[in-house]
Chains A and B, each alone.
Chain A
Amino acid sequence: MRFWDGYKGSSFMELINDEFPQLKCDLSAGLHGAGTLPETAHGTTCVGLRFAEGALVAGDRLATMGHQVANRDIEKVYATDGYSLMAIAGAAGPAIEMARLLGVQFEHHEKIEGEPLELEGKANTLASLIRQNLPAAMQGLVVVPLFAGYDRRRHTGRVWKYEVTGGRYEELEFDGIGSGSIFAKESLKKSYSTGATREDAIGMAILALTDAADEDRATGGVDLERGIFPRVKLVTEEGVEEVGDDEIAQVYQGVLESRRRPGA
């Protein structure tokens, strides 16, 4: 690493670009040649919503490759730092790498500058990462995340959705991503209430994911056989909290009871 003439800014991504290009996560370079893209892991439902104390992000655990299961307990909801969450949909490989890079970027900035980025700044950082991925997205490696966090300046939870060009849109209530998101959003449209409590927020999220898994074959539901539950994470003034499987199981039992056919 060069000393005085090396990179002096606070961005980890720029540091990598300037000084360690071999570590760059740029898939487009390998995609120009002939041939078709091999199948990658896909299929998801993730939801993000605002509630009284902050924001919630939840996602199923199934990854599919065409009609087959690629992984049953994949992680789609990431804590990118102590006050922000990111959910991923699309090509799993680049999406997970993007979440990791984003986490490093936030931490790097905080250490270099001595204070963390504002939530707005974090949301913009993710937008630029998605924009950089556009060439790969054009070849089929689309990454469409959802970003949520607790804004310590405005004292509220916030949720953003993105499009493949890096477009960034704030949602005031809720949003969903992935193949089953249409069903999850339909579900949330009916169950959502502004200023919900923590318990109600978890209930709405589990209900939405259950509805999505019911209609979309690429979305995993609760896997009671193996004890795999959707991942639910909250972010409030106290920071990120992961909701335990026991609590999720209990909420899910309630959903099942309400759906059970008489006599079944």
Chain B
Amino acid sequence: MSFPFYVNPEQMAQDKAEFARKGIARGKSIVTVEYDQGVVLVAENPTRLHKLGEVYDRVGFAGVGKFSEFDRLRKMGVQWADVEGYKFSRDDVRGKALANVYSQILGEEFSRSMKPFEVEVVVAEVGDPELAGHEGNSLFKIGFDGTVQDQEGFCVIGGSESNLQSHMQSNYREGLNLAEALALGREALQRAENGTPDLPAKSLEVCVLDRSRNGRKFKRLKADEVAALLD
């Protein structure tokens, strides 16, 4: 009979975390910024595979890292949201609850499986002035090990996070308009170690959660709309 080798749990968690961080650092970053009418999500992504997506009326998704993993998380979020909305009502689908779902999955996957997820995701929710207790926006950042951070104003995920974070910290202010928020997001992305200087509009994937829209607030901006806003 063979005995499994003893592995120090602390060591194992550290190794897994290091592995996950390496995977995430290889990819491009995403910046999420609040503006006067909602939330704008900005990713450096010249491909047609999306990193940003619509989850529900007021909820959007952003993911970095391994595509197969964060896209599965995105789809699962859509499944979860549509089932909740169908079972209860459209107003009952909340960003915080989705952040919790993601946290559970990532946390469990981190401690149970050999290979942790190499992803970080953001759940962005635009506030609804008519819905008591949910007037404000929320940005939840969920790490590869299931840690959740509730952030205000802006949220950065992906490689070179600290560069982007410090740029956002010193330049973000409340009440930006969409063009300003987008420009700020792009500037931050350009500061990434693997970032591209002078990011053209067509290399950006930009989505908004626009409070002024009816029903579904999520909108994917076309390249010419992005270019017009950046001009």
Assess whether B12 is interfacial by the CB under 8 Å rule: no
Contact across chains for B82 and A104 when beta carbons are under 8 A apart: yes
- In the complex, which residues of chain A have a beta carbon less than 8 angstroms from the beta carbon of B101? 1
* Interface residue B54 (Cβ < 8 Å from any Cβ of A): yes
Q: Which residues of A have CB within 8 Å of B80?
A: 1
List which A1-39 residues lie within 8 A (CB) of chain B. Answer: 1, 3-4, 6-8, 12, 15-16, 20, 23
Interface: B83 (CB within 8 A): yes
Whether A114 lies near B53 (C-beta < 8 A) is yes
Of B55, B72, B75, B101, the most chain A CB neighbours within 10 A belong to B75
* Cα of A101 to Cα of B83 in the assembled complex, Å: 11
Residue-by-residue, is A225-253 near B (CB-CB < 8 Å gives 1, otherwise 0)?
Answer: 00000000000000000000000000000
- Whether B79 is near chain A, meaning CB under 8 Å from some CB there, is yes
Q: Report the minimum CB–CB distance from B81 to chain A (whole Å).
A: 9
Segment 73-102 of B: residues with Cβ below 8 Å from A: 75-76, 78-80, 82-83, 85-87, 101
User: With A111-B53, A114-B53 in contact, do A7 and B79 touch (Cβ < 8 Å)?
Assistant: yes
Q: Does B22 contact A (CB under 8 A)?
A: no
Main secondary structure of the interface of B (DSSP, over half): helix
Known contacts A3-B105, A107-B82, A108-B82; decide if A8 and B87 are in contact (CB<8 Å). Answer: no
A112 beta carbon closer than 8 Å to chain B: yes
* CA distance in complex: A173, B55 (Å): 38
Chain A interfacial residues counted at CB < 8 A: 19
Nearest-CB residue, chain B, relative to A110: B54
In the complex, chain B residues 50-86 whose Cβ is within 8 Å of any chain A Cβ: 50, 53-55, 72, 75-76, 78-80, 82-83, 85-86
A60 to B113 Cα, complex, angstroms: 58
A104 to B78, CA, bound (A): 11
- Shortest distance between the CB of A125 and any CB in chain B (Å): 15
Closest to B48 in A: A114
User: Chain A's nearest CB lies how many Å from the CB of B225?
Assistant: 17
B220 and chain A: residue at smallest CB distance = A114
Hey, which chain A residues are within 8 Å of B85, CB to CB? 104
- Expressed in whole angstroms, the minimum distance between the Cβ of A226 and any Cβ of chain B is 27
B76 touches A12 (CB 8 A): no
Residues of B within 8 A of A100 (CB): 86
A1 to B87, CA, bound (A): 15
- What's the least CB distance linking A25 to chain B, in Å? 10
Minimum CB distance partner of A7 in chain B: B79
Chain B nearest CB: distance from A99 CB in Å? 13
Q: Which residue of B lies closest to A22 (CB)?
A: B87
A12 touches B72 (CB 8 A): no
> Contact: B75 with A23, CB < 8 Å?
no
Cβ B83 vs Cβ A111 within 8 A: no
Contacts of B72 in A (CB 8 A): 3-4, 8
Q: How far, in whole Å, are A101 and B86 apart by their CA atoms in the complex?
A: 8
The reply to whether A112 and B78 contact each other, CB–CB distance below 8 Å, is yes
Q: Given the known A-B contacts A112-B75, A112-B78, A114-B50, are A15 and B55 also in contact in the complex, defined by CB atoms under 8 Å?
A: no
Q: How far is the CB of A112 from chain B (nearest CB, A)?
A: 6
Contact present for A104 and B75 (CB under 8 Å): no
Q: How far is the CB of A180 from chain B (nearest CB, A)?
A: 32
Q: 10 tightest CB-CB pairs across the interface, nearest first?
A: A111-B78, A108-B82, A111-B54, A104-B86, A112-B75, A112-B78, A3-B105, A12-B82, A15-B79, A104-B82
Given A16-B86, A20-B83, A112-B78: 10 more A-B contacts, CB < 8 Å: A1-B80, A3-B72, A3-B76, A3-B105, A3-B109, A6-B76, A8-B72, A15-B79, A108-B78, A112-B75
Enumerate 10 A-B pairs (CB-CB under 8 Å) in ascending A order: A1-B76, A1-B80, A1-B101, A3-B105, A3-B109, A12-B86, A111-B53, A111-B54, A111-B55, A114-B53
